[in-house]
Structure 1
Amino acid sequence: MSSDRSLNYDILIQQDRLPEVGETFTGNELMLMPGGKGANQAVQCSKLGLNVSMVGCVGNDIYGEHLINALHENNVSVANVLKRGTTTGIGIVQILESGDYCSTIIKGANYLLNENDISDNLFDGKPLVILQSEIPSHIVEYVIKVASMYQCKVILNNAPARSIAPSTLSSVDYLVVNETEASFMAGSEVSSIDDAHSCAAKLHKMVRSNVIITLGEKGAVLSSDESTMHFPAVFCPEVIDTTGAGDSFIGGIAYCLVNNIPLTKAIPFAAEISMCSIQKYGGQSSFPMLADVAHALDYSDL
C-alpha cells in the first residue's frame, strides 16, 4: 500500500482559549511532534500491521530528518521520501482544554512533489493508495489516474477541502471527509445527521462507489451502492487531543479494505481506533497498535 501525501513537523500549543485579534496570550505547554495528514495516515496503517510506502517531500533541514526518522521507526518505507532544497512543511496546532484544535499549515516541501517522483511500481500489484489535499492538485489527479490504470483502489481524504475535477472524483473508490469538507464539496450545509445523509448521497453520485462523512461525536455516515446509513460514535471516557483523529480513522478503514472487511464493519472499527487516539496528546504517538483495538473488530459473518 502506498501513501502519496504530506509530511509536516507539528508545533503543538496547549492553551485555554484562542487569543483575540491583537492579543498576546500565554499558552500552557509546547510539544514538537512529527505530523502531516499523509505521514499520520501512513503511521496508523503501519501500526495496524500493513506494509506501507510513504511518498512525499521534506526539506533539507533538521525537521525533515526528524520526519524521516519517525516514519522509519514506525516501519513505514521511506524509499520514496525525497529531500528538496527548501523548508519542511510545518503545522502549527493550537489545542484547547476541550481537546478541540485549530491548525495552520505551511506547505513547504510538500508542494515540490512532481509526477516524475511517482513510480508506476507504487501501484502495480498494490491494493490501495491513500491521498489527501496537502499536496498539489495536479499530483492528486495524476495519482488517481495512474492508480486506476493499475486497478489500485483509491481513498481520497479531501482535507483541506478544495475543488476537484469531476473526471477525477469519478475515479475515487472511497471518499472520506468530515462535515466541513463534505459541506464544501456538496455545496450544502451539514449540521445534523439528516444533513449528512443527504450530503453523502449527493457526493456518492460524484465518486466511483463509496462516501464516508465523519461527524465527530455524532458518528459517521456511509453512502454506498447499496444504501446510506448512519453509524453512532464510540464512547470516549476522556478527550485529551483530537489532533490526528481523522487520520487514525482513515488508517482503520484502510486496514479493513486491504483485509477484505466490509465497510459496515470497518467504520465501527475505525471509530474505535480514532477514539483511542484522542485520549493522548499528539498524532502519531497516540495512535494504537492492532493489539490495542483488535477486540473491536467484529469477525462474525466475514
Structure 2
Amino acid sequence: MSRIIVAGSINMDLVNHVKEFPKPGETIHGRGVDYLPGGKGANQAVAASLAGGDVTMIGAVGEDSFAEPLLSSLSERGVATGSVVRKPGTSGLAFITVSDAGENQIILSEGSNGKLRPEDVPAKQLADADVIVLQNEIPWETNLHVMQASRSERAKVVYNPAPVRQIPADAYPLIDLLVVNETEAAGLSGIEVASQQDAARAGRELLSRGARSVLVTLGAKGSLYLEGDGQPIFTPSFRVRAVDTTAAGDTFIGAFVAAGAQGLDTPAALRFATAASAIAVTREGAQASIPTRREIESFLAEQG
C-alpha cells in the first residue's frame, strides 16, 4: 500500500448552529456551539486514514489548550502525528456557522498553521512518501517547497488550492492532480462554472497550464475528472439528506487518494470517494462525520 503524506492545516472548529444565516448587521440566536477538530489538512488526513490509507500528518499546533485534543483526534483515527510541530501562540481556529439547510459559512484564524515553514517539513518523510496532499491553509512557500521536493523524490502531488489563490505558472507542472470545486475552478481558470460543460472547459484550461490531471467537484451534482486528451469522467453524486456539508470536500479528497493508493482504478476510486462524501454530509461535524472504509463499502453495496 502506498504511503500518504498530508501537509496542511490543523484547526479547532467552533461550530455555531442557526436556523438561517444572519443578514448584514442582524443579531440572531444560535442553537449552541460545538468544539470539533478540523482543518482542511487534518480532515483530508483523517479521511484518507479511515478509508484505509497509511497516513502521516505534517503540520503545526499551538501552545494552547486546543493542541492536545487536535493531536488526539488525528492519532485516534490512525494518522501518525510525529511530524506535527509546536508553535508559539494559538492553534488554528475555524469559526463555522451551519444553517438548518445544511449549508455553512467559515471564517479562518490561521494561528500556528501560518507559522509552518519549509524547514519544519522532514525531508525523510517526503522521501518515503508515494503521495503528498496539499491545500492552501499553510504558507505558499511551504507548499512550494513540498511540491519541489516531491518532484525530486518522484512522489505524486495532489493539490487542493482552497481557499483559492492564483497558482504561479511555474508551479502547475509540479502538480499531478489538481482538485478544485466550482468556485476554485472559476477563480483559477477565469471560466465561470455553472454546468458540467463549463467544468470541462475550466478543467481543460488548467490542464493546459501544466497540471497532469484535474478533478472538479460539483457539489450535489457530482464530479468531473480530466486527464490528458482523454474523455472526462463524470461521476454523479448519491442522493442523501444533507445535515452538514462542512467536511464533504475534504472527505472526498482523502477517500479518493486512499482508494488510489490501494489500487482502485480512477472510475472506481471516484465512486468510492463520492460515497464517502455522501455519508459525511448526513452527519454533523468535520472529522466526526468522516466514514470508515467499511461504512463506505457497505454504502456502495446498498446502492448496487
Same fold, judged at TM 0.5 (above):
yes
| Counterpart-to-counterpart distance in 1, 2:64 and 2:145 | 28
Whether 1:189 aligns to 2:188 is no
- The answer on whether the counterparts of 2:15 and 2:97 sit within 8 Å (CA) in structure 1 is yes
2:149 aligns with 146
Secondary structure at 1:163 match in 2: coil
Letter in 2 for 1:235: R
For 1:62-91, what per-residue CA distance to the aligned partner results, in whole angstroms no more than 9, with x for missing partners?
A: 111210111111121111111111111100
Whether 1:4 aligns to 2:7 is yes
For 1:12-55, what per-residue CA distance to the aligned partner results, in whole angstroms no more than 9, with x for missing partners?
A: 11101111222211011211100000000111111112111111
| Counterpart-to-counterpart distance in 1, 2:300 and 2:227 | 20
- Structural RMSD (CA): 1.3
Secondary structure at 1:57 match in 2: strand
Letter in 2 for 1:273: A
Aligned length: 297
**Displacement of 1:295 after TM fit?**
4.4
1:53 aligns with 56
Letter in 1 for 2:69: H
**Displacement of 1:260 after TM fit?**
2.7
**Displacement of 1:296 after TM fit?**
6.0
Secondary structure at 1:62 match in 2: coil
| Counterpart-to-counterpart distance in 2, 1:152 and 1:257 | 14
Whether 1:276 aligns to 2:279 is yes
Secondary structure at 1:242 match in 2: coil
| Counterpart-to-counterpart distance in 1, 2:97 and 2:285 | 11
Find 1:162's aligned residue among 147, 162, 165: 165
- The answer on whether the counterparts of 1:280 and 1:286 sit within 8 Å (CA) in structure 2 is yes
- The answer on whether the counterparts of 1:197 and 1:229 sit within 8 Å (CA) in structure 2 is no
Letter in 1 for 2:271: P
Whether 1:290 aligns to 2:288 is no
C-alpha distance 74-20 of structure 1, shift in aligned 2 (>3 A): same
More relative contact order in 1 or in 2 (CA 8 Å, sep 6+)? 2
| Counterpart-to-counterpart distance in 2, 1:75 and 1:253 | 17
1:108 aligns with 111
Alignment of 1:233-272 (within 5 A): 233-236=237-240, 238-272=241-275
**Displacement of 1:227 after TM fit?**
2.2
Runs (5+) with no aligned partner, structure 2: none
Secondary structure at 1:170 match in 2: helix
| Counterpart-to-counterpart distance in 1, 2:268 and 2:288 | 25
1:21 aligns with 24
Whether 1:124 aligns to 2:115 is no
C-alpha distance 253-78 of structure 1, shift in aligned 2 (>3 A): same
- The answer on whether the counterparts of 1:200 and 1:228 sit within 8 Å (CA) in structure 2 is no
1:229 aligns with 233
Whether 1:174 aligns to 2:177 is yes
**Displacement of 1:291 after TM fit?**
0.7
For 1:98-129, what per-residue CA distance to the aligned partner results, in whole angstroms no more than 9, with x for missing partners?
A: 11111000011101111111122112232101
| Counterpart-to-counterpart distance in 1, 2:264 and 2:54 | 17
| Counterpart-to-counterpart distance in 2, 1:296 and 1:209 | 31
2:92 aligns with 89
Deviates most, 260-269 or 10-19: 260-269
Secondary structure at 1:123 match in 2: helix
For 1:217-276, what per-residue CA distance to the aligned partner results, in whole angstroms no more than 9, with x for missing partners?
A: 11111111222232211121x110001000000011111221232222211110000000
| Counterpart-to-counterpart distance in 2, 1:207 and 1:270 | 25
Whether 1:69 aligns to 2:72 is yes
Runs (5+) with no aligned partner, structure 1: none
